[in-house]
Structure 1
């Protein structure tokens, strides 16, 4: 197994970014599921601008990437990022957040942005 080290400054920056529970939950959800902002708005019961701000910070740090599907922008975990091994290791210690998406599906609010 290859060990990837992260500079202290980079690690501190990532930990500060992921120290916000909304962003941490977003990243954990994105570990297994791609999502659009509108789904995060429903999951977190937050405004679209607030969610977009969280996503932008994650994207700027390279943790999240976006893909355009027609009019939709879909977010996913950036597995090609230099920071991904560090983030992945952190996520392994967190409980699944799949229930958040299941709740959306049960309420009929899981959006298919295809």
Structure 2
């Protein structure tokens, strides 16, 4: 696979976006899982509007996509986004966060909205 360089200003936008610990953790969680807002609320112990704001910023740049399933919206990484190869390299350097979702499953709160 040929890796093309990302422009400096675009890289700065992505770095600023992922410079927030919550958004960075969301991206790492989405690396292997589709998640609903309610799961992030549970994981981060914060309000639904705060989580929705983080997801909106990620969605506005196109690095996450949403899919409606019934009345719920699930988020996933948009691997077709032009920045995905850059983001993929960043995420590869971070510790796995799946234990957060496993903890939700054990508590019976993995998908509280569904």
Same fold (TM over 0.5): yes
Q: 1:38 to 1:112 in 2, by over 3 A?
A: closer
Aligned length: 114
Residues 6-49 of structure 1 deviation map (CA, whole Å, 9 limit, x = unaligned): 10000000000000000000000000000010000000000000
C-alpha RMSD of matched pairs (Å): 1.2
Q: Structure 2 stretches of 5 or more lacking a match? A: none
TM, length-normalised to structure 2: 0.96
C-alpha distance in 1, partners of 2:109/2:59? 25
TM, length-normalised to structure 1: 0.96
1:70-109 maps to which residues of 2 (within 5 A)?
70-109=70-109
Q: Structure 1 stretches of 5 or more lacking a match? A: none
1:43-58 maps to which residues of 2 (within 5 A)?
43-58=43-58
C-alpha distance in 1, partners of 2:4/2:67? 27
User: The residue matched to 1:65 in structure 2 has which SS?
Assistant: strand
| Residue 20 of structure 1: aligned partner | 20
